[in-house]
Structure 1
Amino acid sequence: MASPQIDVDEIVETLEQIRQRGHSAHTVFQDWVNLMLFALQRRDDPYLEIVDDYRTRGDMDHPEGKRSVDLFSKAFGQLQERMVATDADVLGAAYEEYGMSSDAFGQHFTPHTVCEMMAEIAGVAGESETHGRQTVLDPACGSGRMLLVAGRKQPDALFFGQDKDPLCARMTALNCCFLNLDAYVIQGDSLTVEFQQAWQTSYSALGGSVRELDEEEVSELREWVTDAFENTVEDGTQSRATERAGSEDRTTPVTASVPSEQASLGAFESSD
C-alpha cells in the first residue's frame, strides 16, 4: 500500500476518471508519466502523439476542464501540491495505490522510513558534515525514493539511479527533476551494466530541468559509470546499496547544458 502519511486519493480519483472512459489503469498511469516527462522536456511530437490517443469524439465532447488531457494536467497539479506538502515520493505512492486494482503494475517500493534508515547507514551526510561533493548511487532505484531521501540530506550531491523497469526509470527522472537534483537516471539492468535509455536532471535557481540523453551520451555515461565503479571497488570503498564517494578528482559525465524549465503547471499547456 501507499505510505500512510501520503494521501494520494485525489490523484487516484482524477486518473480513475480517465480510466473509466475505456482505458486500462496501467496505460493511463504510464501515459501520465510520459506526458509529464515530455512536457517538461518541451518534446511536442511524442507529447501530442499520446494526447491524440485520447482525443476520441466522445472525449472531446466533454467540456473544457473535463477532457482527458485536462484531467492529466489536473493530476499533475495535484501531484505537485502533495509533494510540496509532504516532501516525499508522492508519485511512487500514487503508483502503488492506483495499481492495487491491476496486476499490470506489480511493484512495491521501499517505505520512506526504511529509506531514511538506509541512507543513514550508507553514510549520506548533511551539507555541513562533508568536504567536497558526494556521489550517491542506487542501482535498483524503483521510483527514486532512496535518492529523494538522500537528496534532502545532501542536495548538492551528484545522484545516479538505475532500474530495468522503463516506467520506474521515468518516475525517478521526474522525481529528481521535481526535487531539483543534479542526477543521471538510467533505464537498464545494473547487474549486466545494460544502459538502454538515460536522463539527466539539473539544478537551477528556477527549478529542476530534465532531458533525455542521445545514444552517444548514453554510451559516454556508461563508460564513466563503469570506470567509476571499478575505481571504487579497487579502493575498497564500495557500499552495498547506496554508494558514497568523493568525485572531485573525476570528470563529470555528459556535461552538455540543460535549458532551465521550472517544473510547473505551464508545462502541460496544450492546444485543442
Structure 2
Amino acid sequence: MGYMMDAPRSVDPMIKILRDMGHYRFDPAEVFRDWIDFSVGCFLVEGDPALAKKLQEKYGKEYSKMNELMLAWMQIMDKQISDSSKSWFDALGTIYEYLASQKQRSWMGQFFTPPDLCDLMTQLSADTDIQPVGKRVNDPASGSGRLLLSFNAYNPGNFLFAEDLDAVCAKMSALNMAIHGCQGQVCCMNTLTMENWQFGFQINYFHRLGWPPIPHLQPITKEQSETLQSWEIKKKQLQSQPAAPTPKPVAKPIKTEVQAGQLTLF
C-alpha cells in the first residue's frame, strides 16, 4: 500500500493535502493538529492573529495548504450533509482515527463511537411522542463530539455541552458543533474531578440574536462555564444537607437446623 493511500474515501480530499505536505518535512498528524488550531482561529469572532503569524513562520510557502484544507473540509461537509434527512458527518474524527492508526502517536490514543451506534443511542434515548426543545444535553467525554452531533440532527433546538480532557478533541468538538449549527459550550477539562480547566468556547452564540448562520466561536473563562456553574450549585446543595446518621449494626441471629445429621450454623 502506498503512502497514506488507504484513507477513507469520504475524507480523501483532506488526506490528499496532508499526504502532499507529508512528502516534504511535515508529519501529517502534526499538520492536522496545527490545522485544527488554525480552524479554531478562523471561527473565532475576533480571530487569532498571533496564531496565524506563528503558523506562517512554521510552514512558510506551505502555509497556503491550511486554506486548502479548510476549503476541502467545507466541500466534504456540503457533500455529506443533506437538508432533507437527519444527517451529520464527522470528517475531523474520521481523519483523527485514520492518522492514529498509521503509526504510534502518544497524543492520538482515542477511537470514537461509530456513527451508526451514535444514531442508535440517540434514538433509544429519545421520546418518540415529544421532540425535546430548549433542553440542556451534556456529553462529559465528547471526543470529536459525535454523540451531540447525532442528537442535534434528530433533535434540533437544544443547548449542547461537551467536555473532554484532551485539547485536540475539545477543539474538534467545538468545530464540529459550530459547523453543524449547534448552540452550547465546549470545555477542555477533567469532568471526573471537575478540575484541570484549560479553555472553553461558546458555540454559535449570536445565532439566537438573529445573526446569519455563520459558524463562530467565542472563548469563555472558567467562571463562564455553565457546566462548572451547575456543579458548584450542586456541590453547595450537597454540602448543606445534614449528614445521614450512621445506622447501628443489627446482630444477625444464629439459625440452627438439622439436615441429614449435620449441624448447620448458617
> Which bin holds the TM-score, normalised by the shorter protein?
0.7 to 0.9
CA contact (8 A) 2:131 2:155 kept: no
Q: Which residue of 1 aligns with 2:201?
A: 199
Identify which of 51, 57, 60 aligns with 2:56.
Answer: 51
**Separation of aligned partners in 1, 2:114 and 2:9:** 11
Deviation, structure 1 residue 84: 2.0
User: Root-mean-square deviation (CA), in Å?
Assistant: 2.4
Q: What TM-score do the two structures reach when normalised by structure 1? A: 0.71
Question: Residues 118-161 of structure 1: CA distance to partner in whole angstroms, max 9, x if unpaired?
Answer: 112222x58x8236511111111100011111111122100011
In structure 2, the CA distance between the partners of 1:6 and 1:174, relative to structure 1 (3 Å rule), is farther
Q: Which residue of 1 aligns with 2:230?
A: 224
**Separation of aligned partners in 1, 2:63 and 2:217:** 22
Deviation, structure 1 residue 47: 2.2
CA contact (8 A) 1:180 1:209 kept: no
Deviation, structure 1 residue 229: 9.1
In structure 2, the CA distance between the partners of 1:143 and 1:229, relative to structure 1 (3 Å rule), is farther
- Which amino acid is 1:71 matched to? K
- Which amino acid is 1:78 matched to? A
In structure 2, the CA distance between the partners of 1:162 and 1:52, relative to structure 1 (3 Å rule), is same
Matched length: 214
Q: How does 1:1-272 map to 2 (within 5 A)?
A: 7-41=10-44, 42-55=47-60, 60=61, 68-87=62-81, 88-104=89-105, 105-123=108-126, 129-130=130-131, 132-194=133-195, 195-202=197-204, 203=207, 204-218=211-225, 222-227=228-233
In structure 2, the CA distance between the partners of 1:132 and 1:31, relative to structure 1 (3 Å rule), is closer
- Which amino acid is 1:223 matched to? Q
Mean CA deviation greater in 44-53 or 29-38? 44-53
Question: Residues 53-90 of structure 1: CA distance to partner in whole angstroms, max 9, x if unpaired?
Answer: 112xxxx3xxxxxxx22212111111111112223111
In structure 2, the CA distance between the partners of 1:25 and 1:120, relative to structure 1 (3 Å rule), is same
**Separation of aligned partners in 1, 2:66 and 2:227:** 32
Q: Secondary structure at the match of 2:10?
A: coil
**Separation of aligned partners in 1, 2:138 and 2:182:** 13
| Greater C-alpha Rg | 2
Higher relative contact order (CA 8 A, sep 6+): 1
Deviation, structure 1 residue 187: 0.6
- Which amino acid is 1:54 matched to? Y
Q: Secondary structure at the match of 1:7?
A: helix
Mean CA deviation greater in 4-13 or 96-105? 4-13
Give the % identical residues.
23
Deviation, structure 1 residue 5: 8.2
Question: Residues 98-122 of structure 1: CA distance to partner in whole angstroms, max 9, x if unpaired?
Answer: 3321321222111100000111222
Q: What TM-score do the two structures reach when normalised by structure 2? A: 0.73
Query: Gapped runs of 5+ residues in structure 2?
Result: 1-6, 82-88, 238-266
